[in-house]
A = this chain, B = another copy of it.
Amino acid sequence: MEITSLTNSKVKEWTKLKEKKYRDITNTFLIEGDHLVNEALKRGIVKEIISIDLSFLKENIPFYLVTIPIMKKISDQVSISPVIAVCTKIPEKPINGAVCLLDNIQDPGNLGTIIRSAVAFNIETLILSLDTVDLYNPKVIRASEGMLFNINIIRKDISTSLKELKENNYLIYGTDVSKGTNLKTLEFPLKSAIIIGSEGKGMDEYLKKECDSLINIPLNNNCESLNASIAASIIFYEMRN
């Protein structure tokens, strides 16, 4: 189908997906660009393809040929993407393998980068606290480089998740900048779950009490702490590599 009017109802519908509220209501989200659309096609979650170019036409998937102003209106980026797709949110699976829990991560770039590193270093399950930034925020998807399609991501209350992990014999690890065991000396069992605290405050004291062990990464005295996505990635690297 061809759409040329900026006020077309489909265009309005797509534009609304920039907001979390509408992503939640419709259970869908947008992705931009060749690479991400191909990753989503592999996962079979593409509902609609929107493009200025017929070459993105796929069998059995509704296709909308649109104008550049329409692409600009729907897009989250400054430079125009050749293709945008509406996708169905990825279903959550049960907890499995090495786990990372994110407590109140606010920066979409950090969440996306953590997802990318988690896939790189074989973390199987990522649990997002209820107050962590939306997984389907366009900046998260972009920073993840499409890796959100390759890992089980669950949004769940941290306390409930910890209870479930403990019942399943997981060892819970936290991070601490001033005390804890040096990361280099730790041996992680397969059933390990690591908690990463928020950017501003680090890990909450009440969560530290839930941990079997606290991890410390020794830092130069001039530097108080690492960026949350860096700390998470270095721990993943040591855990599963």
Which residues of chain A have a CB within 8 Å of any CB of chain B? 109, 113, 116-117, 119-122, 143, 145, 147, 150, 184, 217-220, 222-224, 226-227, 229-230, 233-234, 237, 241
Interface centre among A218, A227, A233, by most B CB within 10 Å? A227
14 further A-B pairs in the complex, CB-CB below 8 A; given A116-B227, A226-B233: A113-B227, A113-B229, A117-B226, A119-B220, A120-B219, A120-B220, A121-B220, A145-B223, A145-B224, A147-B223, A217-B237, A233-B233, A234-B234, A234-B237
The reply to whether A116 and B218 contact each other, CB–CB distance below 8 Å, is no
Contact partners of A219 in chain B: CB under 8 A: 120-121
The reply to whether B116 and A222 contact each other, CB–CB distance below 8 Å, is no
Q: Nearest-CB distance from A34 to chain B (Å)?
A: 14
The distance in angstroms between the C-alpha atoms of A109 and B143, with both chains bound, is 12
The reply to whether A150 and B223 contact each other, CB–CB distance below 8 Å, is yes
Contact partners of A116 in chain B: CB under 8 A: 223, 226-227, 230
Given contacts A116-B226, A184-B241, A227-B143, contact A122 B220 (CB under 8 A): yes
Contact partners of A229 in chain B: CB under 8 A: 113, 227, 230
Nearest B-chain residue to A227, judged by Cβ: B113
Contact partners of A122 in chain B: CB under 8 A: 220
Nearest B-chain residue to A109, judged by Cβ: B109
